[in-house]
Amino acid sequence: MRDPGLIDASSNSGAALTNPASGAYILTVLGLAQFINTYDTTAMNVAVSRVVHDLHTTVTGVQLALTTYALVMAAFMIAGGKLSDVWGRKQTFTLGIALYGCGALTTALSPNLTVMILGWSVLEGLGSALMIPAIYSMIPAVFSDGRERVRAFAVIGSIAGAGAASGPLLCGLITTYLSWRVSFAAEVMVVILVIILQFRLKAPGRTTKRPSFDIMGAFLSAIGLGLLVMGILQANNLATAGIVPLLALCGAGLAVLSLFLAWQMHRKHRGKSQLLDPAILRSKAMKLGLPLTAAQTFMMAGGLFIIPVFQQIALGYEPVMSGLTFLPNTIAMIAASQIVGRLSARYGRKWFIVCGLFAMSLGLGITALLINGHSSLWAFLPGTLLLGSGVGLVMAPLLDLTQSSVSLERQSEASGVNRAFFNLGSSLGTALAGAILIAVLISGFTGLVSTSTAIPQENKAAIEQAIKTGAKAVSNQQLSEVLQAKGLSDSEIAELVNINARARDRALRISLAAVALLGLIGVFLALLLPNNRPKEPAT
């Protein structure tokens, strides 16, 4: 890989640095920032119980922090992307990583849930919205050659996937033997390292006029994306709240986003700078690439949610063991991404994307077929290898497809909307997998209770009502302790524990299979892609 130097951080033109750093150095700086961001999105899933204990809060409170983090990050991605043009890409990236570090430090020292939400959900979320679009807008400007650009995306994609896959393992180890606070403290150390390294990336002065920032557009995009994510997350509450809140919030979000696009058209017709030029959404690459990005992250998030839940609740795995099962996934992903980085320039991007999405769907489907309440560790190997290989095949070509479809001065806008779809897909994957899990769990549990001869008829109605209002996947041990506290007989407890195991395991498998089947929509969309080879973005 040649040494292209970093883009002009304060110009839209993408000019090279006056003292260029090597491509490997640039990717190291950007990759470290990307790693801690994706690591953070999955790491805390294995530390919830410890956080609840240390902060004297509830699981619902920690889930609120997780939800708010996803909400803030998704809501401000488009605005964060545009600020790269206003402030300069390097400056925006540096501000974002610094803000992220302040959030991580606040979280590590947080005495209660409120401070944790301020640090983790708000400061880290805003920092991510600034630095992540800047990362993905820098690469096309730095690596103008198609082959080098795909390789760069493959490296950043591998790092992103490795961060997400290693989150449960590393945080599980840290939480088990030290504290979850150490995980956030380690992120602070990485942030300090990135800030030190970025000083070598010095940019020349601005060569084009600084665009104005569309405050009204930023407000509309944040409100619209925020409402849409809130609506998607309501899928988790379908069993208790029904579908009305989901439809209302998603409908309101789409309406506000329509106003946002109309406002952008209005500003364009008046000759004013836009937060997002609607014209970039009209290309076939964007029309297909953005939904495909959401489909990819939908399957990733759904798999990373269901599989660890199954392992820890149904099989009794410790978080560390659950994280270890994803090690083959990470290795396969890195290997596949390096292969596609070398071959896509010769064979085009389409079939790598098609095969990658199909491999992800097939991997999730095979896992759903192989696992049961008595599965060994080996039952997860074929599916996780396919899932990791699929992610590795699809990530770099898909990133390159969307980013290289726009001119260099529109890279920041493209990266902002691209990352917004990335987060929407992730939120949808987790929420929909959880909604299917609960719906199937309730259906299976109540059906088994109604036909059971070991449970007195007078108790069945109360049990069915309890599962409908408070259903969640729990281990046999957890359920047994709850039932003992309620004073049920040993025979009733044994029967309900057996019913729980059967209904829970079936629900987990079906929800995973549903994610796999819905992911096939992405495969059919990918078949519509043109088989263009990577080329230099238009100037």
Full DSSP string of 426-470? HHHHHHHHHHHHHHHHHHHHHHHHHH-SSS-HHHHHHHHHHHHHH
| pLDDT band (50, 70, 90) for residue 36 | very high
- Cα 309 from Cα 184, distance rounded (Å): 23
Number of neighbours of residue 102 by Cβ within 10 angstroms: 17
Nearest to 258 by CA among 242, 281, 237: 281
The CA-to-CA distance between both ends of the chain, in Å, stands at: 22
355-393 burial: b if 16+ Cβ within 10 Å, else e: bbbbbbbbbbbbbbebbeeebeeebbbbbbbbbbbbbbb
In this predicted structure, the answer to whether residue 469 has a pLDDT above a threshold of 80 is: no
- Cα 329 from Cα 341, distance rounded (Å): 18
Query: Once rounded to an integer, what is the mean pLDDT over residues 138-164?
Result: 79
In this predicted structure, the answer to whether residue 5 has a pLDDT above a threshold of 60 is: no
- Grouping H, G, I as helix, E, B as strand and the rest as coil, residue 7 is strand
Matching residue, tokens 């095979």:
366
- Cα 289 from Cα 401, distance rounded (Å): 7
| pLDDT band (50, 70, 90) for residue 361 | very high
- Cα 352 from Cα 341, distance rounded (Å): 10
- Cα 414 from Cα 314, distance rounded (Å): 42
pLDDT in tens, 307-324: 887 887 778 877 777 777
Predicted pLDDT of residue 296: 92
Mean pLDDT of all residues belonging to the chain: 82
Higher pLDDT, 99 or 466: 99
- With vertex at residue 187, the alpha carbon angle to CA 181 and CA 190, rounded to the nearest 5 degrees, is 150
Query: Once rounded to an integer, what is the mean pLDDT over residues 507-523?
Result: 91
Q: What is the dihedral of CA 184, 187, 188, 193, to 10 degrees?
A: 170
What is the residue type of 1?
Answer: M
Token pair listed for 422? 């990335």
Nearest to 101 by CA among 79, 123, 121: 123
Out of 72-86, 173-187, 202-216, pick the least confident: 202-216
- Cα 352 from Cα 418, distance rounded (Å): 19
In this predicted structure, the answer to whether residue 16 has a pLDDT above a threshold of 50 is: no
- With vertex at residue 500, the alpha carbon angle to CA 432 and CA 300, rounded to the nearest 5 degrees, is 25
| pLDDT band (50, 70, 90) for residue 6 | very low
In this predicted structure, the answer to whether residue 12 has a pLDDT above a threshold of 50 is: no
Higher pLDDT, 509 or 434: 509
| pLDDT band (50, 70, 90) for residue 262 | very high
Share of the chain above pLDDT 90, in %: 24
Higher pLDDT, 342 or 331: 331
Token pair listed for 220? 């509309």
Burial of residue 324 (number of CB atoms within 10 Å: 0-12, 13-18, 19+): middle
Predicted pLDDT of residue 59: 63
Query: Once rounded to an integer, what is the mean pLDDT over residues 511-519?
Result: 92
- Cα 456 from Cα 450, distance rounded (Å): 10
| pLDDT band (50, 70, 90) for residue 257 | very high
Cβ atoms of 100 and 153 within 8 Å: the answer is no
pLDDT in tens, 87-101: 888 889 999 999 999
Out of 10-19, 114-123, 140-149, pick the least confident: 10-19
DSSP at 207: -
Quote the pTM value: 0.83
pLDDT in tens, 77-127: 888 888 888 888 888 999 999 999 999 999 999 999 999 999 998 999 999
Cβ atoms of 265 and 393 within 8 Å: the answer is no
Phi (first) and psi of residue 354, to 5 degrees: -60, -50
Out of 9-13, 153-157, 174-178, 409-413, pick the least confident: 9-13
What is the residue type of 124?
Answer: E
Query: Once rounded to an integer, what is the mean pLDDT over residues 375-384?
Result: 87
- Cα 391 from Cα 184, distance rounded (Å): 27
In this predicted structure, the answer to whether residue 345 has a pLDDT above a threshold of 80 is: no
Token pair listed for 341? 């980085």
Query: Once rounded to an integer, what is the mean pLDDT over residues 42-61?
Result: 77
Cβ atoms of 25 and 105 within 8 Å: the answer is no
Out of 302-306, 382-386, 406-410, 412-416, pick the least confident: 406-410
